[in-house]
Chains A and B, each alone.
Chain A
Amino acid sequence: MKKKVLTVDDSRTIRNMLLVTLNNAGFETIQAEDGVEGLEVLEECNPDVIVTDINMPRLDGFGFIEGVRRNERYRAVPILVLTTESDAEKKNRARQAGATGWIVKPFDPAKLIDAIERVTA
C-alpha cells in the first residue's frame, strides 16, 4: 500500500514541489495550507508521516505539531519540519513541540525522500 504523507505549507511553490516529489516517489500526498487546515485534514487522512513548514499564517508549525501530538490517534506519527532556518533555536522549539526530524531547505527532492524514509517503516 502507498504510504500517505500529509504536507502543511503556505507557499504554493513549495506545496507543488512537495506534491511532485512525493508523487514521483510513490507516496500518496495530502496537502494543507496552514496549521489550522492541517489539523482539520489530519482527522480524515490518517497519514503515515507529516511534513510541515514552520512559518505559516493562522497556526504556525510549532502550534500544528503540538496539536498533532495532543491528538491521541496521531501523537506517534513521525513529523518532519521543513525549515530554512538552520539556527538551532528554531529547531529546538520544533523538537520541544514534538517534531521527529527536519529537512533543511533549500528544498531538495532527494533529501526529502531520504528523511521520510528514515522515519517511516
Chain B
Amino acid sequence: MDMNEIKEIFFQECEEQLAELESGLLKLNDGDRDPETVNAVFRAVHSIKGGAGAFGLDDLVSFAHVFETTLDCVRSNKLEPTQDVLKVMLRSADVLADLVSASRDGGSVEESRTRGLLKELEALARGEMPTGGGAAEAPKPAPAKAAAPAPVPAAAPAPAPTDESGFQPIPFTFDGFGADEPAEDLSVFEVSFKPRRDLYAKGNEAALLLRDLSRVGEMSINCDMDQLPAFDKMDPEGAYFSWTIQVKTAKSEQDIRTVFEFAEWDCDLDVKVADSSAEELPMVPVPFDLSILDDGTSDADGDDGGAAEAAAQAVAAAETATNVTKMAAAAARVEKKESQAAAAAAAAAANAANAANAANSAGQTIRVDLDRVDRLINLVGELVINQAMLSQSVIENDTTGTSSINMGLEELQQLTREIQDSVMAIRAQPVKPVFQRMSRIVREVADMVGKSIRLVTEGENTEVDKTVIDKLAEPLTHMIRNAVDHGIESPERREAAGKNPEGTVKLTAKHRSGRIVIELSDDGAGINREKVKQKAIDKDLIPADSNLTDEEIDNLIFMPGFSTADKISDISGRGVGMDVVKRSIQALGGRISISSRPGNGSTFTMSLPLTLAVLDGMVVTVAGQTLVVPLTAIVETLQPEASAIHSFGANQRLISIRNSFCPLVDVGRILNFRSIQANPVEGVALLVESEGGGQRALMVDAIQGQRQVVIKSLEANYTHVPGIAAATILGDGRVALILDVDAVVAASRGQSLRQDSGMKADMSLAATG
C-alpha cells in the first residue's frame, strides 16, 4: 500500500465521517441530547482533521480545527446546541464537505464562505450567540469587511501549541543533531535528573532517557545511589537513583530538555550551564554505552567500549532500576499463575459472550469488493436456472414420481430461493446516504429562496439495491428542489394562510410487497390546477376543451415540455422537467405518481424494484419466440375484439379501448420475426405506457405466464440487438429475450429501432453475466 492508496481510503473515510457528522447534527437539531451523539459528531470532524493533517491539506485542517473547537464547547456543555447554533454547524458541515471534495478533486471553495463561517464558529466558541435567521454578515458587517483583504485565513492553519498550564510541547527531531550547527560554540550543561516512582510506572526508562541524552553531545555521567535502602526494605518499584550528567554540546538547553519531554513531570530535572570550572571536575567523559539496552544478549560487547568505571556504574545502576521493575512484574506474574486456569476459562466465556454481542450489534460490517458480490450474484443466478432445469427434466423423465426425489427437489428449490434472496440482500444498502444528501439540498435551496424549511426523513434504513440507490439521487434531488422552490410558499404567504411559517418537506422510504416505496411530500400550497391546465393548453399539450379529472391534471406536470414556473429559476429550472424525473424512475423499472391537496401540499410516490438484477416479467410468445415484457411497463392486458380494431393509413391499425384510440403495435413485425401482420383477434394486446407518456397496445400471440427472471446482459455476452433490452434463461434452459418496450414503441412511430434506450442501458449495468 502506498500513500495514494491511503489517501483514497482517507477520502472514503471522510465521506463516512461527513455522513456521520450530518446525521448527528440533525439528531441534535431534533432535540437529541445524548452525549454520545455529540461525541460522534466531534469525532467525525476530529478524524477528518487528523487525516487531513497527515496529507498536508491545510485548508481542510484549519477549517476542521475551528469547527472542532466549537464542537468541543458543545461537548463540554459550554455551548448550548440551540437551533440557531446548529444552523451554523450544519452550514459548516456543508463547507467541510466542499473542502473535502475540493481537496480530492482539485478546485477550491469560495473563500468568503469559509471565512464567514469561521468567524461565526469562533464567535460561538467565545460564547456569543448567533442572532438567528442565519444571516451571516448581519451582526458584524464592518469587521467582516475589514478582514476580507487579509490574505491569511482567520484561523491559524495548524493547531498552534497554546500553553495554559505551563507545559510546552516541543516538536522533537534528531535529524539536525550534530549536523549544520556551527562547531565553535560548545557549551557544557549540567543536568541533574532524579526520576520519581511515577516515571517508571508510566513506562519510561531512565536508561533510555540517558541514551537519548548521549545523542545530544559528549557526556559524562555520575549516578547517585545513596538513596538505595537495604534490600529487605526496598520497594521493588521505587525510584532510588539520581544522576548528574555533564553534556558538552553545541545544542541549546531546550534540546536537552526535549530529551526529557515525556518524563518531565515525573522527575526532578534541572538543566543549567555548568561553571567554566566544571570541565576540570574529576569526571571522565565517556561515550555512553548503549549495548546494555539490547536485553542482556550483548553483555560481552559492553566491555570493548573502553568504558570508564563511572560510566559502567551509572549504566549498571540504570539497568538495575530497569530490572527492579521487571522483577516486580515477574513476581506479580508468579502469584497470578495459580488463578490463571480459572481466569482462562472465564476469559473464554467472556470471549464467547463478546462474539455474541458483536453479532448482535448492527455496526459490524466488512468491506467487500463489488465485483466479488456481483460474481456471486451471477453464480446464484446460474444456480437458480440450473435448479429450474433440473426440476423440469425430472418431471419429464420420471413419471412414477419418486417421492424422495421430488421432496429433495422441492427442498433444493426452497434453498436456492433463499440463497438468491440472501445474496441479493448483500447488494442492498440503506437509502440513508441519499436521504442525507437531500437535507443539504433543502438547506441550500431554502437559503437561496429565503424560505425556512425543515426536512423530515423516515425509514432511512430501508434497504434497496446499490444501483437503484445510485440512480435515485438525481431524480430525488430534482424533486426536492422543486418542492422547496415551488411547493412550499414563502413564509409570509404561509402565515397569511394560517400555517406554520416554517415549511416541512417529508421524505419517507418503506418496503411494500417486494418493492421500495419512496414518498416525498410537502405541506405547501399544492398544485394550482387552474394554472397547470391553462399551461398545458397554452403549450398545446392538451386540447383546449379537454375535460380532465383532478388526478389527470396533476399528472400533466409529468408531460414532456411542461414547466409550471412562470420564469425558469436557476434552482429548479435548469431545463429539466418532471418528465425527465419520470423517465429516470421508469428506467429503474419504477413508477411515479402524484397526489395533491390544494392548500395542503403535494405528495409524490415512487415505487421501485428492490434490485435491478432480477425483473418481474410477463412471458409471452411472439411468432414462436418466447419474449419477456417487463411487468412495470404493462398497464393492462386485453383480448381484442374484431369490432375494436380499426385500420388507419397504409398499414397502421388502432384499437379502441373505452372510447379512445390507441395505436396497435405488432411486436413480431417490429422485431422482424414475421413479415405479415398477425391477426389481432387471435392474439393478446398488452397496453403499455412508454417514454413520453403515450399508450400503445403491443400485440403478442399468447401470454405464457408471469415470473421473476434473472437479467443477463446481451451486450456483454453477444452484441446489442435493437428492440431488445437484455436476455434471460428460463426454467427449461431456453434463452428468452427481454423486450425493450420504449424502443419498440419508438420504432412503431416510424423511427428505426434506436441503438440505445434508457432501459437497455440500465439493464446492461445491472446484469453482470
* A residues with CB within 8 A of B: 10-14, 16-17, 19-20, 40, 43, 55-57, 69, 72-73, 75-79, 84-89, 91-92, 95, 98-102, 104-108, 110-111, 114-115, 118-121
Decide yes or no: A95 and B205 within 8 Å by CB, A16-B9, A86-B162, A107-B50 being known contacts. Answer: no
B293 touches A121 (CB 8 A): yes
Q: Which of B239-247, B325-333, B457-465 contacts A (4 or more CB under 8 A)?
A: B325-333
Does chain A have a CB within 8 A of B347? yes
| A-contact bits for B41-73, CB 8 A (1 contact / 0 none) | 011001101111110100001000000000000
A119: chain B residues at CB < 8 Å are 203-205, 208, 262
State A91–B168 Cα separation when bound (angstroms): 11
A55 touches B42 (CB 8 A): yes
Decide yes or no: A40 and B169 within 8 Å by CB, A10-B43, A110-B175, A118-B212 being known contacts. Answer: no
B54: chain A residues at CB < 8 Å are 13-14, 17, 105-108
A16: chain B residues at CB < 8 Å are 1, 5-6, 9
Does chain A have a CB within 8 A of B750? no
B329 touches A99 (CB 8 A): no
Q: Which residue of B lies closest to A104 (CB)?
A: B169
Tell me whether chain B's interface is mostly helix, strand or loop, or mixed: helix
A84 touches B53 (CB 8 A): yes
Sample (26) of A-B pairs whose CB atoms are under 8 Å apart: A10-B43, A12-B13, A13-B47, A16-B1, A16-B6, A17-B6, A20-B6, A40-B354, A56-B43, A69-B201, A76-B201, A79-B202, A88-B167, A95-B265, A98-B202, A101-B262, A102-B262, A104-B169, A105-B54, A106-B53, A106-B61, A106-B158, A114-B172, A119-B205, A119-B208, A121-B294
Q: Which residue of B lies closest to A82 (CB)?
A: B50
Q: Which has the most chain A C-beta neighbours within 10 Å: B1, B2, B159?
A: B159
State A4–B496 Cα separation when bound (angstroms): 71
B9 touches A100 (CB 8 A): no
Q: Which has the most chain B C-beta neighbours within 10 Å: A79, A92, A107, A119?
A: A119
Give the top 8 A-B pairs by smallest Cβ distance, nearest first. A106-B53, A101-B262, A78-B203, A107-B54, A100-B203, A13-B10, A13-B51, A88-B167
A11 touches B13 (CB 8 A): yes
Decide yes or no: A87 and B162 within 8 Å by CB, A10-B47, A105-B54, A114-B173 being known contacts. Answer: yes
Decide yes or no: A100 and B46 within 8 Å by CB, A72-B329, A92-B167 being known contacts. Answer: no
A101: chain B residues at CB < 8 Å are 204, 261-262
State A77–B92 Cα separation when bound (angstroms): 41
B75 to chain A, nearest CB (A): 10
Q: Which residue of A lies closest to B168 (CB)?
A: A88
Q: Which residue of A lies closest to B11 (CB)?
A: A13
B341: chain A residues at CB < 8 Å are none
A86 touches B333 (CB 8 A): no
A17: chain B residues at CB < 8 Å are 6, 54
A87 touches B203 (CB 8 A): no
Q: Which has the most chain A C-beta neighbours within 10 Å: B6, B39, B295, B333?
A: B6
B414 to chain A, nearest CB (A): 39
State A92–B212 Cα separation when bound (angstroms): 23
Decide yes or no: A14 and B1 within 8 Å by CB, A86-B160, A119-B205 being known contacts. Answer: no
B448 to chain A, nearest CB (A): 34
A85 touches B159 (CB 8 A): yes
Which of B5, B56, B202, B326 meets A95, CB within 8 Å? B202
Decide yes or no: A14 and B294 within 8 Å by CB, A89-B164, A114-B172 being known contacts. Answer: no
Does chain A have a CB within 8 A of B661? no
B9 touches A121 (CB 8 A): no
Does chain A have a CB within 8 A of B171? yes
B411 to chain A, nearest CB (A): 40
Does chain A have a CB within 8 A of B40? yes
B6: chain A residues at CB < 8 Å are 13, 16-17, 20
A72 touches B336 (CB 8 A): yes
Which of A55, A73, A87, A98 meets B333, CB within 8 Å? A73
State A20–B2 Cα separation when bound (angstroms): 8
- Beyond A76-B201, A89-B164, 8 extra complex contacts between A and B, CB < 8 Å: A40-B351, A43-B347, A56-B43, A76-B325, A76-B326, A92-B165, A107-B54, A111-B171
A55 touches B262 (CB 8 A): no
Does chain A have a CB within 8 A of B161? yes
Does chain A have a CB within 8 A of B604? no
Decide yes or no: A14 and B329 within 8 Å by CB, A43-B347, A89-B165 being known contacts. Answer: no
B202 touches A100 (CB 8 A): yes
Q: Which has the most chain A C-beta neighbours within 10 Å: B39, B42, B47?
A: B47
B231: chain A residues at CB < 8 Å are none
Q: Which residue of B lies closest to A23 (CB)?
A: B1
B47 to chain A, nearest CB (A): 5
State A92–B264 Cα separation when bound (angstroms): 12
B398 to chain A, nearest CB (A): 55
B336: chain A residues at CB < 8 Å are 72
Does chain A have a CB within 8 A of B562? no
Which of A87, A105, A118 meets B262, CB within 8 Å? A118
B271 to chain A, nearest CB (A): 18
State A84–B45 Cα separation when bound (angstroms): 12
Does chain A have a CB within 8 A of B174? yes
Q: Which residue of B lies closest to A56 (CB)?
A: B43
Which of B9, B50, B207, B212 meets A105, CB within 8 Å? B50
B677 to chain A, nearest CB (A): 63
A110 touches B56 (CB 8 A): no
Q: Which residue of A lies closest to B7 (CB)?
A: A13
A91 touches B56 (CB 8 A): no
State A10–B46 Cα separation when bound (angstroms): 11
B201 touches A98 (CB 8 A): yes
B51 touches A14 (CB 8 A): yes
State A44–B165 Cα separation when bound (angstroms): 39
Decide yes or no: A100 and B165 within 8 Å by CB, A11-B50, A55-B43, A118-B212 being known contacts. Answer: no
Does chain A have a CB within 8 A of B163? yes
B164 touches A87 (CB 8 A): yes
A114: chain B residues at CB < 8 Å are 172-174
